[in-house]
Structure 1
Amino acid sequence: MQADKIEIIEPRTARKIKKKMRSYPPGHITAVKQSSTDTEMQPFLVADTETILIDDVHKPYAAGLLKVMPGEDLSSKDKCIETYFSEDYTIILSSFEERSTKVLFDLIERISTIVKKDKSIRTIYFHNFSRFDGIILLKHLACHHKQYRVKPMMRNNKLYELVVFHGKIKLFRFRDSLNILPSNLDNLAKNLCPELGSKGSIPYEDVKLSNLVSMKTRLLDYMKQDILLLGGVMRKAQDLYWNAYKVDIESKITLPSLALTIFRKIYYDPKTFPIHIPNLFEDTFIRRGYYGGHADTYIPYGENLYYYDVNSLYPFIMKTFPMPGGKPKWCGNLEGQDLDGLFGFIEAYVLCPKTIKRPFLPYRDDKNTLLFPTGEFIGVYYSEELKYARSLGYTVIPLSGYLFEKMETPFESFVSSLFESRLKAKESGNDALSYVYKNLMNSLYGRFGINPVTTVTEVCSQDRYNFLIRNSDLIFADQLNEKYYIVSYWSGKGSDYWNPPKISAVQLAAAITACARIYMYPYISREDCYYTDTDSVVLGQPLPEEEIHSSVLGKFKLEHKVKKAIFLAPKSYSLLAEDGVVLKHKGPAKAFISEEWFESQYEDISRTEQVSVEAPFRIDFKKLNITKKEIQVNLGIKVGTKRIPVYSGEDWVDTKPMEITDLSGLNTLGIIMKKSLRAKIMKLLDDNARIHSILAEKEREIEEKNQDG
């Protein structure tokens, strides 16, 4: 019997396992490198719709589109505009509802055909897409194009983008030209493409279903001119930005995003000034110290006044003031720390004495109103405004905070370059280029302060709908049709929902606005300051000549010499100026405002009246309809919400600050520190009283000796 043959197997050498390096997002904003895809501008489409009211709901009766190639001359392109008109379908469709749907259906299918033939075309622009055309198209796509999937980017009830998919393939996207070029189409055309003519007009109130056919030529010509102007405006803007910065506006959704890209690509050096991206805790804390501009009415009536504006206040601050750089360090107990040695965002106990008639530090009340009060309160502030407040007579006790490195501003070259370029453009008469530089310069700072807490609206499937109603901070939810639901919810609230913008740095936005308030305060605090709003002041006496220049960054320019003015509230005033009448009032009833109304309101500040206001383009987000609705509005001024009126007899002559006592923000440590502080203050007061008594006694003794002598 043969012995079993033993097979010897060579041992295998174990394969080395390469350790994969996990990639983490950078803790700071990175610079943008020139991409190989950034070699040419992309073509795009521009489009428009026209509507009539059917049962107070806007329904499209016409639509059109135009293909725009980079650098193309559009002066003869009006014949290339494709149009769709509802009444052309009367042979096959009997109801207007069906014909209106057909207009949009054919528009969408035509766009789909164009982008499939030319894959370089991805974007279709409407002017005011976010608040009008986009709402109509979103509902239409969800209800009538089941082969497509839609993904709207809707934040805080504003539709920024609407992307259309076929399966998993992205076909095209709708965007709002207004988010890149924030002005009305007529003004944009005059600045950017005057050779294409001006915007036309039609009597909207006369356009009815019954006369659409007879008005067809006029209506379509009006729409085609709008489309042509939009194409010209966007093409010119695309050329300007590309030639100056090699950035294609077609790749960006908003102007602040465009400004940030240009800054990161050309001016930003992360080695010199790394801009830190805050985490949840840092962002939440610092955002408490991100306040807006200072707006207040001080004296309600005046004559022979001077209305001044600062030339580009925020860009001036960005260029001039040091900024918080590096990674912040948390300090949970700042008791005993010298405020002068701190730089960053500090939670502090603040005491503003009643003797300060125009308080400096802001305070946000439970109604989210920004006040500038006296009293004692807790708040988060930029260290530099706390130091400035202390110099005015405030008591400031630091409690805790995030400390940054004090660094030279990273924005000096960005602002200087754009401001100088704008001046050259204005001098050469190039209003279009001047407009571009101005918008860029003023759009950057706000992008850093973008808020991660927003409302999000989705059009989604039933599975997604079921998930959202169970797991989100719901605002509303409704069914659009058998396939789609609409859901609105809060995003960014709490650690479970933390999904901030990829590039944000609230510390910069907060520092810029704080330094702007510091810069404006010497003018606001003048006894002859009647009114202020962020970058403007109305004074009783003129400023010195050396502080005035119409083209120097940070200097004042005289906007109006005012013969007579009434200031009822922030953003509600009338000016009888040498160059005409200026009326301003915030709210839906502003069409009812007149000089006479301001006079009557000033005589009786508590006066209110109810008026009927027509809201012609009201959005019903639950049904995705644009409606016309008449609403009742109380026309008047809320008295005493920011400052308290002061009367002489029955006449309103002045205001005084509100007084606040709010220590609810104190934690246990803060309460201990506050008690310790009060004990120290009481001891100082006792010591002061004792010293005063001793001095008084000594004075009496000296006086008695002098009398005896």
Structure 2
Amino acid sequence: METSSGTLDVGKWDQSTSNLDEGYNIKYIIGSNTKDNSNRILTNIKADVKSLSEDKANKIANVKIRQIERVKRNEGKIIKGGYLSYINHSCYIGHFDELIDKKILINRLKDNLISQLEEGKIYSILLNMSYLKNGVNVGISPMKSMIITATVNLNLLGHNIINAIILKSQEYEVQGDSCNINIYWREWLRDDEYSKLVSPVNRDKIIEEVLIEEGNLTKNNNNKLDKILKFMAIEKLDNYINQFPSFDSITKLTPYDLNSDEGSKKLLKAINDIEKESQYKVKISVFKSDEGYSFGDSVPFIYLVFTEVDIYLSDCDNVKGVRRTVCFSTIDDWVDSISHWNTDKYPYLKFTDVQLDTDKDTQKFTRTLGAYKFHVDNGKVQYWEKYYSFPDMLMPSSDKKRDTKIGSLDLETYGKDGNGFGEHSVYAGGIALNDGYKQLYYLDLDNEWGIKSGAGLIQQMFIELFDYIAEKKKERNGYKLYAHNLGRFDSIFLISSLANAGFQLRANWRENDLLQLYVIDTDRKLNIKLLDSINLVPTSLDKLLKGVGSLIRKGMFPHKYVNRDTINYIGPKPGINYYLDESQINEQKIDEYNKIPELFNLKEQCLNYLETDVLGLLEAMNILSKHYHKEHKVNITNFSTLPALSLAIFGYWFYQDKKKTIKMIKGPLESFIRQAYFGGNSDIFVEGSNRFVKKGLHYDMNSQYPFAMKNQMPTGNPVFSNNTDLNYYSLGFVFAKITPPNKDTLANLFIPFRNTDGSVSCPRETFYEFISTVELRQGLEYGYKAEILCGVNFPEACEANELFGKFVDQLYEIKATSTDSVERMIAKLSLNSTYGKFGQKEKEYRIKIMKTDQVSEITDKYHYSYLSDISDGLSIIKYGPRLNEKYRQLYKEHSEFDDNKSTYTKERGIPSAVQISAMISSYARTSINPFKNIPGNIAIASNTDSLILEHPLPNDLIGRELGQWKLEHTFNNGIFVRPKLYCYEDSNTNELIRKAAGVNAAKLTSEDYAKLCKGENVHTQKEIFKVDWNKLKIEVVKVDTTLKGINPE
């Protein structure tokens, strides 16, 4: 097909655009349109992203140099320490006799030493042998310090250690069974590295690093621009503006009589058929192309022009109207194809023009080709749109009958290293059902026939449970058992034990969290479902029991005291520090502790504590189940998470206007919108000495996200466009070049920018970002400037309160006024959890329990991150996404490669309603932004829904209504280091309020916060809860961590 814009070869069309119009026969409209310059303009913008100037680089470098020198001096003092610097880090390896076995030694080194080292760091280790000699404990070092890393060769290290301890044992006549081996370590630097550490910094190198960092920022901007270029592939579509630049261009062609009266008769018959089927009338005119079109051979082409609603065969002079559809066809094929002129089945190119401003002499019109609409004025495309049609989000239905088959279970564990640390093992467990069934289990190491292991205990629990179910299968089969924290704790022990007992397991996961686990007795056709109650009520069991008004109260138990040697302990009551961390001890807890008998029977106390937990959880879940079904007609047992349950309530009771539907968006458009999905901003706005605040106030906003949900929402199908006018976007998301105001105009910035590492900041420099139109409009009011490149519009967006208004108002009223504690709890949980479900999408990785001999079906096709055998015939595997076989084979033919490498995975679109979550989150941020820059009361700090100010807010902003503020604390002597790291003294209670993300804030003092503000590092410890899915084990370890001091200037 030869046109003025190029030649179309049907056999050689550009397949890179085939994903633009799924379901539309695009191959006849590919061309090269020189009039649409969107892609070229965007490419130019990408090329114009400038790097940092030398002057600015010098200024940034000066700040970095001062900070680096201060940090290096502090670290140098620490690293240069002598033997005493080793004592902070140590581990027990074992006694001499067992470590002679190299296999045991290597395993101990791996589990006890290497697991605590960080990759990329160098360590110096000292070996210590301690033994009793004449009743005195003696310690010797059998070898000089060694330098190792986390990737050390354990065979070689083990060989050296064995040789050293054997030599020293012979030299000092050490008895192997009384000799214990410990390893101490510290981070290490050689003398030459230490010299470099305290020597002056290389200024030129620092400047170079600054420029590289800025280059990475430029790269980040360009990466975002690259994503947008994919949408700008519209230049591949020939919109025929060159050939038909005006609305009436087609009528200037030569009329065509269809080769005699016979052709006219065929046309009239086709018209009659169309009229009968469609029941409306269309005027049809026929024109002949002035050019030939190449489909292998050059053939003549005609245009069938359908205009308005009057049906008659006319001459071209009578073709008038405001809407016209032009259908291309060959002379031979028009008869067969004309009936499809108004459907997607039409085999050739067609486009529809609609004239605008018909009362004026204008050349403004729109031209629609498939999903695309071009807005044309005087022969030039002003902007274009792509229209999408996505399916509606499906909502759950109600349940007429309440599910009463509810049970509970709990496991108790101890750490092998004492005080709750080390690898955990099960030593007790319990199950209870609604029908009165209750069984408690405990290890019995002394009885020949007793339970000897945690796995044996779990297996006996479930074997006896299934035997009980089998007695009355019809009444008891299909129970749902809740465990509090099943997904990240109990399930680790259950999976391997139950698989080895012969039960069939089916699991649903979210990332590494188990949502539900089906346990199946295939021979007797029995099954139960295990669910995690913490996913429905994300709080502690103690708070859950209080929240539902249960008379059962969670007791106290010395978890840290329990180990394999103490499980049958009878004696004086363990100290309170075995029950509680220091920060948890208060007068109320001391009173509870004093009520515990002085003569302490650990087994008896454990079974009492376990029974309370099991029965308490069972009562709580029954109370919730009854309430949810009575008030909302839903069964909690059908939902694994609170957001899913809350969405069911919204969908059944409040989502009734089907004209304002929520769409499940997928593909590149979903990705575009997700780029604009940010959480709440967390910032510290003060600097230097201003970080020390004498007095202030801490406010929280009432139900910030429910308040945001009452706004206008992006319902209906989206439209993607390259329109650069913000006024075009009624509600949506755009990609824009954003220039923040200077500090004099706006002290505290608020438009978020996603860095290459995924972190979020609010930069002062110009940047490119995906952003909601709501947030951008607010930014313009505060001095931001923006140049829009393209965006996603929701022209069918609902009005404020139209989608979530009744849902939010009704639940908030219950939360604020109800005297029923259960009703209040459910209303609060539902309000705060619903919005996130819309943005949730199926994760790329899945975890599956399957037969070992079938694992290759996964490993051959999917990228997998771990694979572990859990029994003789079963394995657990985490896998996905699918490997791209084409790339994998290509690399396999030309180089060595890892078959499982994630590089060779396919990208796939995952549907979600992220537009709802992203917009709600955007409204939430805009609700707090104005309070960050109150004249005369500039914010000190802010978090998602909290604000810290030096002066009080006006009284009319304080209250209990949605979106109003409540005063949490007035304080003295505040110290604000960085986001989520600050402290202050409550002026009413004198309590030190501490925040420290990532570490135990209770271990920090106000002096520690002050040190950090002065640029000094603070060393502390944190407990790490480690889940090893490869080995299906849980370990609690103490890890030393360093909080880095900040530049005080």
Bucket of the pairwise TM-score, normalised by the shorter protein:
0.7 to 0.9
Preserved CA contact (<8 Å) 1:157 1:455 = no
In 1, Cα distance between the equivalents of 2:411 and 2:393? Answer: 40
Amino acid at match of 1:191: G
For residue 923 of structure 2, what is the amino acid of its counterpart?
C
Cα gap change, 1:188 to 1:547, in 2 (>3 Å):
same
Greater shift in the superposed pair: 203-212 or 233-242: 203-212
Contact between 2:994 and 2:1001, CA under 8 Å: does it hold in 1?
no
1:624-652 CA-to-partner distances (Å, cap 9, x unmatched) read 10123232322345x4xxxxx672xxxxx
| Matching residue's letter, 1:177 | S
Q: Is the 8 A contact 2:729 2:794 kept in 1?
A: no
| Other-structure match for 2:532 | 176
- Residue 190 of structure 1 corresponds to 546
Deviation at 1:363, TM superposition (A): 0.5
- Cα shift readout 1:213-244 (whole Å, capped 9, x = no counterpart): 34221111110011111111111111221221
Q: State the partner residue of 2:484.
A: 127
Per the TM alignment, residue 480 of structure 1 is displaced from its structure 2 partner at its CA by 3.6
Higher relative contact order (CA 8 A, sep 6+): 1
Distance 1:628 1:519, change over 3 A: closer
Indicate conservation of the 8 Å contact 1:308/1:559, yes or no.
yes
What letter is aligned with 2:696? L
Corresponding residue number in structure 1 for 2:739 = 351
Structure 1 residue 89 displacement after superposition:
7.9
Aligned counterpart for 2:942 among listed residues 525, 532, 551: 532
What is the identity, as a one-letter code, of the residue corresponding to 2:454? Answer: S
- Aligned mates of 2:865, 2:416 — CA distance in 1: 29
Determine which of 994, 1010, 1014 is the counterpart of 1:599: 1010
Rounded to whole Å, the distance in 2 between the matches of 1:493 and 1:605 is 48
CA contact (8 A) 2:994 2:1002 kept: no
Aligned length: 588
Q: How many Å separate the matches in 2 of 1:380 and 1:492? A: 28
- Measured after TM superposition, the shift of residue 27 of structure 1 is 0.5
User: Which residue number corresponds to residue 787 of structure 2?
Assistant: 397
- The 5-angstrom pairing of residues 31-46 of structure 1 reads 31-35=395-399, 38-46=400-408
Q: Which residue of 1 aligns with 2:457?
A: 103
How many angstroms apart in 2 are the aligned matches of 1:287 and 1:140? 40
- 1:499-553 deviation per Cα after TM superposition (whole angstroms, max 9, x unaligned): 746xx3100110011111111111012352001001110111111111110x211
Secondary structure in structure 2 of the residue aligned to 1:422 = helix
CA distance in 2, matches of 1:423, 1:174: 34
Q: Report the CA distance shift for 1:316/1:588 in structure 2 as closer, same or farther (over 3 A).
A: same
2:704 corresponds to 1:310: no
Tell me if structure 1 keeps the 8 A contact 2:729–2:773. no
Q: Is 1:560–2:969 an aligned residue pair?
A: yes
Q: Which residue, out of 909, 912, 927, partners 1:519?
A: 927
Report if aligned partners of 2:424, 2:1034 keep a CA contact under 8 Å in 1: yes
Amino acid at match of 1:632: D
Is there any run of 5+ residues in structure 2 with no aligned partner, and where?
1-388, 571-601, 885-904
Give the CA deviation at 1:612: 4.4
Shift of the alpha carbon at 1:454?
A: 4.4
How far apart are residue 101 of structure 1 and its match? 2.3
**Number of the residue aligned with 1:413:** 806
2:1027: which partner in 1? 619
Instruction: Give the Cα separation in 2 of the matches to 1:396 and 1:572.
Output: 33
Give the equivalent residue in structure 2 for 1:210. 565
Query: Which position in structure 1 is the counterpart of 2:641?
Result: 254
TM-score by length of 2: 0.54
CA RMSD of aligned residues (A): 2.5
Give 3-state SS (helix, strand or coil) of 1:233's partner.
helix
- Asked if 1 retains the 8 angstrom alpha-carbon contact of 2:958 and 2:964, the reply is yes
| TM score, norm. by length of structure 1 | 0.78
Tell me whether 1:220 sits opposite 2:607 in the alignment.
yes
Q: Structure 1 residues 614 and 385 mapped into 2: Cα distance closer, same or farther (>3 Å)?
A: closer
Measure, in 1, the Cα distance between the counterparts of 2:1035 and 2:1000.
18
| SS of the residue 1:315 aligns to | helix
Question: Match for residue 754 of structure 2?
Answer: 364
Corresponding residue for 1:161? 516
Which SS does the other structure have where 1:367 is aligned?
Answer: coil
Deviation at 1:53, TM superposition (A): 2.9
AA of the residue aligned to 2:964: K
Deviation at 1:558, TM superposition (A): 0.7
CA deviation map 1:50-91 (0-9, x unaligned): 12234632221111111125xxxxxxx7xx531122218822
- Bigger radius of gyration among the two: 2
Are the counterparts in 2 of residues 453 and 493 from structure 1 also a CA contact under 8 Å?
A: no
Change (3 A) 1:622 1:390: same
Q: Secondary structure at 2:401's aligned position in 1?
A: coil
Matches within 5 A, 1:43-54: 43-54=405-416
Supply the distance in 2 between the matched residues of 1:491 and 1:434 (Cα, whole angstroms).
Answer: 42
Instruction: Give the 3-state SS of the residue equivalent to 2:669 in structure 1.
Output: helix
**Larger CA deviation: 220-229 vs 404-413:** 404-413
Give the match's secondary structure for 2:455.
Answer: helix
Q: CA deviation at 1:209?
A: 2.6
Q: Does 1:150 align with 2:505?
A: yes
Corresponding residue SS for 1:125: strand
Question: What SS does the aligned partner of 2:453 have?
Answer: helix
What does the per-residue CA deviation read over 1:298-321, in whole Å, with 9 as the maximum and x for residues that have no partner?
Answer: 1222122111111000001112x1
Deviations 1:408-439 (A, max 9, x none): 240000000001112221xx3x3332111111
1:177-208 residue CA offsets vs partner (Å, 9 max, x unmatched) = 11111111111112213322x11112122223
Q: SS where residue 375 of structure 1 aligns?
A: coil
- CA positional deviation for 1:440: 0.7
Question: Conserved in 1, the CA contact under 8 Å of 2:1008 and 2:1018?
Answer: no
| Match in the other structure for 1:20 | none
Do the aligned partners of 1:252 and 1:258 also contact (CA within 8 Å) in 2? yes
Aligned-residue offset at 1:456: 2.5
Cα pair distance change 1:32/1:131, threshold 3 Å: closer
1:325 paired with 2:718, answer no
Query: Are residues 423 and 122 of structure 1, via their aligned partners in 2, closer, same or farther at CA, if it must alter by over 3 Å?
Result: same
Q: Is 1:278 equivalent to 2:669 in the alignment?
A: no
Distance 1:89 1:105, change over 3 A: farther
Aligned to 1:13: none
State how far apart, in whole Å, the 2-side matches of 1:325 and 1:385 are. 18
Find the aligned partners of 2:775 and 2:508 in 1 and give their Cα distance: 37
Superposition deviation, residue 32 in structure 1: 4.1
Larger mean CA deviation between 583-592 and 226-235 belongs to: 583-592
Question: Is the alpha carbon distance of 1:225 and 1:373 closer, same or farther for their aligned partners in structure 2, counting shifts above 3 Å?
Answer: same
Change (3 A) 1:277 1:134: same
Provide the rounded CA distance (Å) in 2 between the counterparts of 1:467 and 1:456.
14
Alpha-carbon offset, residue 134 of structure 1: 1.1
In the alignment, which of 813, 833, 837 is matched to residue 447 of structure 1?
837
Per mean C-alpha deviation after superposition, the further-off stretch among 397-406 and 412-421 is: 397-406
Q: Give the superposition deviation at 1:404.
A: 0.5
Asked if 2 retains the 8 angstrom alpha-carbon contact of 1:160 and 1:176, the reply is: yes
Tell me which of 47, 58, 64 is aligned to 2:424.
Answer: 58
Alpha-carbon distance between aligned partners in 1 of 2:1011 and 2:657, rounded to the nearest angstrom: 57
Q: C-alpha separation between the residues in 1 aligned to 2:518 and 2:909?
A: 21
The one of 778, 781, 788 equivalent to 1:388 is: 778
8 Å contact kept, 1:452–1:491: no
In structure 1, C-alpha distance between the alignment counterparts of 2:869 and 2:1039, rounded to whole Å: 26
Counterpart contact for 2:1023–2:1038, Cα < 8 Å = yes
Instruction: Provide closer, same or farther for how the CA distance between residues 458 and 414 of structure 1 changes in structure 2, counting only shifts above 3 A.
Output: same
Deviation at 1:167, TM superposition (A): 4.6
What letter matches 1:343 in structure 2? L
